[in-house]
Structure 1
Amino acid sequence: MSRLKRQQSINGLILSLETITKSQCSLSENDVNLLNEAIAKLNGLKTKKGLTDKHYQIEISDIVELILKFSIS
């Protein structure tokens, strides 16, 4: 995947998570923390350069795990 497409995908996911965080007043503090942690990791991922596909997948799997924890709770 090209760097530009990765950036677009990351930006879209950040926007979606921020929308959920702001629009859902019934979220628990834990839910908000999980979403904010995922957003922070995505923002950090945007600044990393030279990641191989394997390293990128490892980073993304951590973020997906946070989102799943949010979805399950």
Structure 2
Amino acid sequence: MQIDEAVTTRIQQLLKERGWTANELIRRSGVKQSTMAEIMSGRSKYPRINTIKNIAHGFGMTLSEFFDHKMFED
């Protein structure tokens, strides 16, 4: 799995666990709707680390916690 795919999958997983929509995450993270749409659709092949950090914070977690999942293991 490519890193961009793993990021999208991780976001989808966390949204499902919390019962949130993407709009709820957008509200909580401050990430622009267009940016989130690019990431979620897979059109953003190289999302900025600062964007992922804001998404992680929107979920109430650190960047390390976001990436602490088996899908990011090599």
TM-score, structure 1 normalization: 0.43
Structure with larger Rg: 1
* TM-score, scaled to structure 2: 0.43
